[in-house]
Structure 1
Amino acid sequence: MSQSDDQLLKRLLAMFEVEAEEHLSAIAAGLLALEQAPPRDRAQELVETTFREVHTLKGAARAVNLGAVVAVCHAMESVFAALKGGRLALTPAGLDLLHQGYARVRGLLDGSLAAGPDQDVLVAALDAYAEGQEPATAMPVLTPPDAPSASPASERGTETPAPDVPALDTPRVGSRPTLRIATAKVDALLRHAEELVSARLAAGRQVAELGGLASEVAERVRSHERARRRVVEEGEDSPTVRLLKQQGDTLRWLSGRIAQLANAGRQDVRILGKMLDSLLDEAKQVLMVPVSVLLDPMAPLVRDLARAEGKDVDLVIRGGDLEIDRRIQEEMKDALLHLVRNAIAHGIEPPELRERRGKSARGTLAITVAQTEGGRAEIAIADDGGGFDVVGLRLAAAEQGLMTPEAAAALDDDAARALAFHSGLSTSGLLTDVAGRGLGLAIVQEKVERLGGSLAVESTPGLGTVFRIRLPVTLASFRGVLVEVEGACFILPTGGVERVARIAQGAIATVENRETVVLNGRTLGLVRLADVLGLLPARAVQAPPSHHTVAVLSRGGQATAFIVDRVRDEQEVLMKGLGPQLARAPYVTGASVLATGEVALILNVADLLAGAAQAPATPRSTVTVSRKKSILIAEDSITARTLFKNLLEAAGYQVRTAVDGVDAWAVLTGGEEFDLLVSDVEMPRMGGFELTAKVRGAAKLADLPVVLITSLGSREDKERGIDAGANAYLVKDSFDQGNLLQIVSHLV
C-alpha cells in the first residue's frame, strides 16, 4: 500500500469510528425495544429501522476492510430480512442470538474481542436461525464484565425503555442536523473562552485605575482653582495669575478627557462582559449532551451482569434528556458502573429469595436524573433489593482491623453504612469479576468529590437502597468559599464545607493531647489550616485572639474544624489546572483568578481531612520573622510562578518574580539585593543552568544561594545542576511544599 493510500485509510478509519458509534447505539436501542414485546406494528417498524442500521454499518465496515465486522453484520442482516419478510418469528432465544451478534461487533470495534472459531460458531447460528432453525440454547455472554459502555465512545443515544414508560421511539440518529467535530477542538475552544475572563478582569482593573486617576486630577483642578483665587488680588493680568489660569485650563481639559476615557472604558467593559458571558454560555452548551449518552449503554450491561449473577433485573431510566457536560459524563462513567455492579451483586436478591420475601422474582434497578437548584443535577440509583447489611459491615470492619469489635458494635446504622465507603472493606465472601474487592464505593466517592459533587445513601432493610449523586451540570465553574491563611487566599469547594463559624478561645478543649471544639452538640477535631499546609507565620504572633474563625470540612461521615484567619466570601470560581509539573502538589487541585486579579489556590477537601490526622498533636510553636528575607523566583510558567510566590509570601518572605533567565539576570544586576534565587531549569532565552553559572561568575552575586526546581529528575541533570553551583535541586514530580520551605529556611 502506498503512503497516500495508507493516509487515506487512516482518515477513513477515523470517520468510520464516529459513524460506527452512532450505528451501534441505534442497534442496541432497537434490540432492547424489541425485547419489550412491542405491538406488531411497532415491532415491524423497529425491525425495519434496526435492519437498516446493521446494513449501513456493514457497508461502512467493508469500506475500511473490517472483514470480521462485515461477516457478523451480514449474518444479522439475514435474520432481520427474514423477520421483515414474515418468514421468521422473533423468539427469546433468537433475540439472545442477535444480542450476541451486537456484542461481537462491539467487541471487534473496541478491541476487547478478536475474530476466531467462536465467531464462526456465532455466524453459523445466525445463518441457521435466519433459515428457521430455532437456537437450541443461548450463546455464551460475550460482553466483558467490566465494559462500561455499549460502544467504543458513544456520543449519542436513545432513552432506554422501561416497563412503566412508553415504547422506544425510532432511534434518533440523523433526527436533527449535526456537525461532527473532534471533542479536543471543542475543549480547546471552551478553554480559550474561559481564559478571556482574566482579560476582562484585567480590563476592569485598568478602568478602575483610570477612574481613580480621573478623580485625583479633578481634585487637583479644585486645589489649583483655590490657589488661583488666593493670588487673584495681584491683578487679573499679572504673570502669576495668567500662568495659573493656563495651568487650570490644561488641568480641566486633562480631567475632562480622562473622565471621558474612564466612562468609555466602563461602557466597553460592560459590553465585553455581556459578550463574554454569552460566549461562555454558548461554548458550554456545545459540550452539553443528553445524559442518555451515558446511561443508554448501561442497559445491555445490566442484562449481562444480571445473567452472570443468576438474577432477573429490569433497568428503568428516567430523565435521560437532561443535558450534562460531556466531560462530567466521561468522569462519571466508571463511578456509575460501580454502583450498577454493586446493586446487582449486593443489593438485588436472587429470584428464589425474593419470592420467599414476598417480592417479585424480577428485581428493578432505576436510574433517575433530575435538575436541582443551583444549576446542579441529581442522579439517583435505586434498587428494590435487601438494603445495606449493616450487621455485616460492623463484623467486616472488626474482622479486618478497622476498629475494635466494641467500637463497631456501638456504631449506629448511619455510621455503619458509611463504612461501605472505606477502601478495601467488603461484605462479600467471594471474590468475583463483579464484586468482592471493597473498592467500588470508595472509587465512586472519590470521583464524585473530585467533580465538586456529593454522594448520599439511603437504605431501608428489606426494601432497597438509593444512592444520590449531586453534581454540577458543567465543569466550567463551581461554588467556592474564599478563606485567608497567613496572608494568602485559598478556595475551599462548597461541596466539602459543612459550615463556617466563630468560636471562642475558651471553647477549645484538649482531648488526648489534641484540640477539639463542640459545635451543634458534636465534638470535632480542631486544627489550623496553616499547620496542615505547612505555612509559617507571616508576622510575629501576638497573644491568642479571643475568637477564631473555623471552616468545618466533611467527607464520608468524617468532619474536622479548620482554623482560618478569615472567611472572605462565597462565589463562583473558574478553575484552572496546575499542569503536569505540579500534578502531585499536596492539598492543591487547581487555581483560579479572582475578580481582584489575585490568584488563589483551590484546595482538596479529602487531602485536607487526611492531612489533619497527621497535623501536630499540640499547638504549633510561634515563629517570629524579624526581617523579611527577599527571594527572586525565575519561572516561565505563570501557574508555577504564582504557586511558589504565594507559598513563600505566606511563609513570611518578600518575593519578586521574573519570567525567564534573562529577566532574572536583569533584576539581579539592577541594584536590588536578594537573599535567595529560586529558578526553573527549562526556560526560554536563558535556562536555570545558564543563570546559575552567570550568578556564580559575578563577584557581587557569587555567594547568593540558588535553588533549582525542575521536571528533569535524572541523575545527570542533578549533577549538572550541582556542577553549575546550585545549592539545592528539587524535582517537580515529587514536589512537596514542606521540602521547599525547609530548604529555603536553611539557606537564608
Structure 2
Amino acid sequence: MTRRTTDKKSDDLLERLRLTFQSEADEHLKSMSSGLLTLEQASSGESKSLIEAIFRSAHSLKGAAQAVNLEPIGSVCQPLESVLAALKAGRLEPKPALLNLLHESLDTIGHLVSTDAASLDQRLPLAAAAARRLDDALKGKSTNTEQPDEPVMKAPADTPYVAPNVTPETVRVSIAKLDTVMRHVEELLAPRLAASQRLLELNEAVSMLSAWKKQRARLQPALRVIEHSLQASSQSVVGEPDDHATANGATSRKQELSKLLEYLDSEQVQLKVIEDHLARLSRSTQHDQRVLTSMSDSLLRDCKEMQLLPFSSLLEGFPRFVRELAREQGKTVELSMQGGDIEIDRRILDAMKDPLIHLLRNSIDHGIATPAVRGAKGKPARGTIMVAISQKDSGKVEVVVADDGAGIDVPAVKAAASKLKNIALQDGGRMDEQEAMALVFKSGLSTSPIITDVSGRGLGLAIVREKVEKLGGSIAIESRRDAGTVFRIVLPLMLANFHGLIVREGGQLLVIPTIHVERVMRLDHSAIRTVENRETIPVNAQAVSLVGLGDVLEMPRSRTSEPPRSSTLAVVIEMAHVKVAFRVDEVLGEHEVLVKPLGRQLVRVRNVAGASVLGTGQVVPVLNVSDLLKSAMKQVFTPRAAGASPDGDKGEVTEKRSILVVEDSITSRSLLKGILETAGYQVSTAVDGMDGFTTLKTGKFDLVVSDVEMPRMDGFDLTAKLRADKQLSDLPVVLVTALGSREHRERGIDVGANAYIVKSQFDQSNLLDAVRRLV
C-alpha cells in the first residue's frame, strides 16, 4: 500500500515537472529561433556569440528533457547540440541550407513538446527522422577527420551551463486564473454603483425631510395666533352668566390646542434627532462609497497591470513568419522591430496578433516586389519592413508598420471601388488621395489581380480596422507610389472601463457604448433636411443620415399620441468611418456600466451586445454598435423601387448563374458540382480543357471553374485560350488545383486567371466566396 502511494506521488511530481518543462522549453525554443534568424544576417564577429547562446539553450533543453524522461525530445536535442558544437568550433559554416535544417529541427522539437506525454511514443518516427537528418548533415559536412569515432563536439564536462540560482521574484499564474480574478474585480462595479444609488436615495430622503420640516415650521405662527384668539375670547366672557357655556367651550378648545402645540413642539425635537441621524448616515455612506470606489479602482488598476506584457512577446514569432512567407514568394525581406519592451494589456496583444500578421502579409504580398523588379526600379534587392512601437502619452501607444515597397496604387483602388455596389464614389470619383486610400479599409475591396489563399478577398484590412476600433484605437494610412506604405495604429495601454450613454426610447432604457458616440445634439426641426427621400442633419458641415433608434431596433410604437416637439434630440454614432445620427426621446447621461453576456441561449442577438444592471437594479440592454450601424444603413439605403431585392447576393443566386466545371477527375468534378449546385448555381461539366472550350463556344456561361492538370489541354492553356478569344475574353476563371508553388501561382496570374485556389487548402467557403465576387 505504501509502495503504491509512493508511486502515485512520484507520478504526480513527474506530471508537475513536465508542465514546468513545457514553459521552459517554449522559452528555449523562442530564444534559439530568434538567435538563428539573427545569425542569418550577422557578421562573422557576431556569429560566435550567437552560436554560443544557441548552443547553451540546446544543451539546457536536452538536459531538461532527459530530467523528465522525455527521451524523444532528448534524441533530437543530442544531434542538434552536436551540429551547433561543430558550428561553434568552425567545422561547419552557417549556410542557408544548414540554417533551414536547424529551423525545421526546432519546429520538430516544438511539436514534440506540445504533444501529450502519453502520445509521445507515436511521434518517435518524427523524432528519429529529425535526428537522422541532423546526423547526416553533421557527417556530410564535418571537416574533422582525425577522430571520426568520437563526437564532433560536446559541452565541456567541467564547465556545464547552469542557470543562476536566484530566488524568483515572480510566480507563474495561469491565464485562466488571472482572467477569473479580473472578472471578479470587475464585478465590484455592481455593488459600487448600487452604493452610489443608495447614497443618492438617502440624500433625497434627507432633502424631503428638510422640506417637510420647513413646511411644518411655517404652521407654528398660525397655530399661536389661533391660541391667542381663543384665550382672548375666553377672557371676554368671564363674569357673564349667560355665556358660561360659551366660555367652557372656548376653554376646552384652548386646552386641545395647547395639547396639539405641545405635541408639535416635542415632534420638532424628534424631527431634529431624525434629521441629524440621517445626516450622519449620509456622511458615513458617502465616506464608505468613496472608500469602496477608491479600493475597487485601485484593485482594478493593479489587476490590469498584472495583465501587462511586453510587446516583444507578440513580436517574437514575426521574423520567422516574414522569412517563410518571403521565401515562398521568392522575395528577400528584412524585418526591423523597435520598442518591444513597451508593456500593454495582454488582451490587447491577443486581439492585435491577427491584424499585425495581416499587415505584414499585406506588405510582403502587395508592397515588397521581387529582387529583379526592385532592382529595375533602382531599389535594393532586399525589401525592408519596420514594426515600431512607441509611447504616445500616459495612456496610449502607437504601432507603426512600414515598408519600402510599391505603395498604394490610388487609381487602382478607385477602379476596384467603382466595381463594388456598397461603395459609392462621391462627386464622380473626384476625391483626394487620402480619401481614396481610406477605401482600402472597405470590406470586399481588393486590387489583387487574382484571388488566392494569401490575398485578393478584400476582407483583411476591413477586419484590421474593425478590431482596432473595437479596442478603442484608431488606424491611419500614409503611402507614396514606389516609396512605401505606413500604417499607424494608436491603441490604449489598457482596456478602459466600459462607459455607456443611457438613453430612453419608446419608454425603454438603452445603453450605447460611449467610445463610439461622437456627440449628442438637440436640433430644431428646421435643421433637418431631406436628401433623396432620406432625413439628414448637418454635423461639422457634413450631411449625416438621421434615423429613429426605435425604428432601427424595430421597437413597437406607442399608441398614445404625443404632443409635437419643437426640437429633435439625436445621438451621433461613428464607427469604421460610418456615421449615423439616431433620434432618441431622452438622454439620461453617461455612466460607468458593467456589461454582462446574455447567456448561451442568446449567444447572438442582432443589435444587442449584452445587458447591464444599473444601480437601481434595472436590467438595461447594451447595444452592439456595429450591428446598429449596419441595421441603420440597411434602413437608409433600402431600395425603394418595386421588386428591388434588398440582398444583392441572394438576388444573384436566384438568377441561376451558369457555371462550367472543367475537371478530369470524376470525384473532384462531382464534389465541385455538388457544392455549386447547393449554393444555387446552374452547373455544367467538361472532362478536360478541350471539351471545356468547345462547351463554352456553344453555350452561355457566367464563370468557369477549372482544374490545371488535365489531358489534351490543361487549365493554364484553357485560360490563355479564353483570354485570346474575343467573345470569351472577359469570362471569369477560377483555377482549383493541387499545384501550390509560387511559380504556378504566377503563371495563373500571367494567363489571366481571376482566382487560384490550392486543393490542399481547399475550403468550400473559399470557393463560394471567390465565385460570388466574380459573378
TM-score by structure 2 length? 0.66
> How far does residue 172 in structure 1 lie from its aligned partner after superposition?
13
Within-5 A mapping of 1:125-164: 125-130=133-138, 133=141
Secondary structure of the corresponding residue to residue 254 of structure 1: helix
- Higher Cα radius of gyration: 2
Within-5 A mapping of 1:337-736: 337-373=357-393, 375-398=395-418, 413-478=433-498, 480-538=500-558, 540-542=560-562, 544-570=564-590, 574-593=594-613, 599-615=619-635
Tell me the residue number matched to 1:637: none
Secondary structure of the corresponding residue to residue 188 of structure 2: helix
1:195 equivalent in alignment to 2:187: yes
Q: Partners of 1:221 and 1:552 in 2: how far apart?
A: 46
Tell me the residue number matched to 1:329: 349
Q: Partners of 2:164 and 2:308 in 1: how far apart?
A: 17
Q: Which of the residues 53, 56, 80 maps onto 2:57? A: 53
432-441 or 406-415: which moved more? 406-415
Q: Which runs of 5+ in 2 are unaligned?
A: 144-162, 229-253, 639-775
| Counterpart contact for 2:390–2:397, Cα < 8 Å | yes
Tell me the residue number matched to 1:740: none
Q: Which of the residues 92, 95, 107 maps onto 1:103? A: 107
Tell me the residue number matched to 1:141: none
> How far does residue 531 in structure 1 lie from its aligned partner after superposition?
0.9
Secondary structure of the corresponding residue to residue 615 of structure 1: helix
Q: Partners of 2:448 and 2:166 in 1: how far apart?
A: 45
Q: Partners of 1:503 and 1:227 in 2: how far apart?
A: 47
Q: Partners of 2:355 and 2:301 in 1: how far apart?
A: 27
| Counterpart contact for 1:235–1:241, Cα < 8 Å | no
> How far does residue 554 in structure 1 lie from its aligned partner after superposition?
3.5
- Relative to 1, partners in 2 of residues 1:73 and 1:429: Cα closer, same or farther, differing over 3 Å? farther
Q: Partners of 1:174 and 1:95 in 2: how far apart?
A: 34
| Counterpart contact for 1:236–1:242, Cα < 8 Å | no
Q: Partners of 1:405 and 1:576 in 2: how far apart?
A: 40
Secondary structure of the corresponding residue to residue 427 of structure 1: coil
Give CA-to-partner distance per residue, 1:606-643, whole Å, 9 cap, x none: 2122111332779xxxxxxxxxxxxxxxxxxxxxxxxx
TM-score by structure 1 length? 0.68
| Counterpart contact for 2:545–2:636, Cα < 8 Å | no
Tell me the residue number matched to 1:145: none
Tell me the residue number matched to 1:178: 170
- Relative to 1, partners in 2 of residues 1:91 and 1:346: Cα closer, same or farther, differing over 3 Å? same
| Aligned residue type for 1:355 | G
Within-5 A mapping of 1:311-326: 311-326=331-346
> How far does residue 400 in structure 1 lie from its aligned partner after superposition?
6.4
Secondary structure of the corresponding residue to residue 208 of structure 1: helix
1:26 equivalent in alignment to 2:62: no
Give CA-to-partner distance per residue, 1:115-147, whole Å, 9 cap, x none: 587765543343355568179xxxxxxxxxxxx
Give CA-to-partner distance per residue, 1:440-460, whole Å, 9 cap, x none: 223223322333333332222
- Relative to 1, partners in 2 of residues 1:208 and 1:384: Cα closer, same or farther, differing over 3 Å? same
Secondary structure of the corresponding residue to residue 471 of structure 1: strand
| Counterpart contact for 1:513–1:617, Cα < 8 Å | no
Secondary structure of the corresponding residue to residue 42 of structure 2: coil
Give CA-to-partner distance per residue, 1:385-432, whole Å, 9 cap, x none: 111233333444455666799998666544543443344443323444
Q: Partners of 1:245 and 1:58 in 2: how far apart?
A: 92
- What is the identity percentage for the equivalent residue pairs of Structure 1 and Structure 2? 43
Secondary structure of the corresponding residue to residue 78 of structure 2: helix
| Aligned residue type for 2:473 | G
| Counterpart contact for 1:22–1:173, Cα < 8 Å | no
- Relative to 1, partners in 2 of residues 1:517 and 1:241: Cα closer, same or farther, differing over 3 Å? closer
Secondary structure of the corresponding residue to residue 340 of structure 2: coil
| Aligned residue type for 1:79 | V
> How far does residue 598 in structure 1 lie from its aligned partner after superposition?
5.6
| Counterpart contact for 2:18–2:68, Cα < 8 Å | yes
> How far does residue 373 in structure 1 lie from its aligned partner after superposition?
4.9
| Counterpart contact for 2:72–2:124, Cα < 8 Å | no
Within-5 A mapping of 1:43-82: 43-63=47-67, 66-82=70-86
| Counterpart contact for 1:26–1:173, Cα < 8 Å | no
| Structure number with higher helix proportion | 2
> How far does residue 285 in structure 1 lie from its aligned partner after superposition?
0.8
| Counterpart contact for 1:365–1:384, Cα < 8 Å | yes
> How far does residue 104 in structure 1 lie from its aligned partner after superposition?
2.6
- Once superposed, what is the RMSD of the aligned Cα atoms? 4.0
- Relative to 1, partners in 2 of residues 1:369 and 1:570: Cα closer, same or farther, differing over 3 Å? farther
Q: Partners of 1:486 and 1:51 in 2: how far apart?
A: 70
> How far does residue 38 in structure 1 lie from its aligned partner after superposition?
5.7
1:275 equivalent in alignment to 2:310: no
> How far does residue 351 in structure 1 lie from its aligned partner after superposition?
1.5
Q: Partners of 1:482 and 1:218 in 2: how far apart?
A: 31
Give CA-to-partner distance per residue, 1:542-593, whole Å, 9 cap, x none: 4653432333333444333322334454565554333333221111223445
> How far does residue 3 in structure 1 lie from its aligned partner after superposition?
8.1
Q: Partners of 1:487 and 1:266 in 2: how far apart?
A: 31
Tell me the residue number matched to 1:123: 131
Q: Partners of 2:551 and 2:511 in 1: how far apart?
A: 16
The number of aligned residues is 584
Secondary structure of the corresponding residue to residue 132 of structure 2: helix
228-237 or 268-277: which moved more? 228-237
Give CA-to-partner distance per residue, 1:320-358, whole Å, 9 cap, x none: 222221122112211221111111111112122222222
- Relative to 1, partners in 2 of residues 1:111 and 1:378: Cα closer, same or farther, differing over 3 Å? farther
Q: Partners of 2:511 and 2:130 in 1: how far apart?
A: 57
| Counterpart contact for 1:452–1:493, Cα < 8 Å | no
Q: Partners of 1:461 and 1:326 in 2: how far apart?
A: 36
> How far does residue 523 in structure 1 lie from its aligned partner after superposition?
3.3
- Relative to 1, partners in 2 of residues 1:577 and 1:381: Cα closer, same or farther, differing over 3 Å? farther
> How far does residue 71 in structure 1 lie from its aligned partner after superposition?
2.7
- Relative to 1, partners in 2 of residues 1:557 and 1:64: Cα closer, same or farther, differing over 3 Å? same
Q: Partners of 2:587 and 2:218 in 1: how far apart?
A: 45
1:261 equivalent in alignment to 2:295: no
Q: Partners of 1:578 and 1:203 in 2: how far apart?
A: 24
> How far does residue 240 in structure 1 lie from its aligned partner after superposition?
5.4
- Relative to 1, partners in 2 of residues 1:29 and 1:443: Cα closer, same or farther, differing over 3 Å? same
Q: Partners of 1:284 and 1:405 in 2: how far apart?
A: 44
- Relative to 1, partners in 2 of residues 1:391 and 1:402: Cα closer, same or farther, differing over 3 Å? farther
Give CA-to-partner distance per residue, 1:269-294, whole Å, 9 cap, x none: 22222111111110111111112211
Q: Which runs of 5+ in 1 are unaligned?
A: 136-170, 619-748
- Relative to 1, partners in 2 of residues 1:426 and 1:368: Cα closer, same or farther, differing over 3 Å? same
Q: Partners of 1:371 and 1:533 in 2: how far apart?
A: 40
| Counterpart contact for 1:395–1:405, Cα < 8 Å | no
> How far does residue 78 in structure 1 lie from its aligned partner after superposition?
1.4
Give CA-to-partner distance per residue, 1:246-274, whole Å, 9 cap, x none: 44443333332332222222222222221
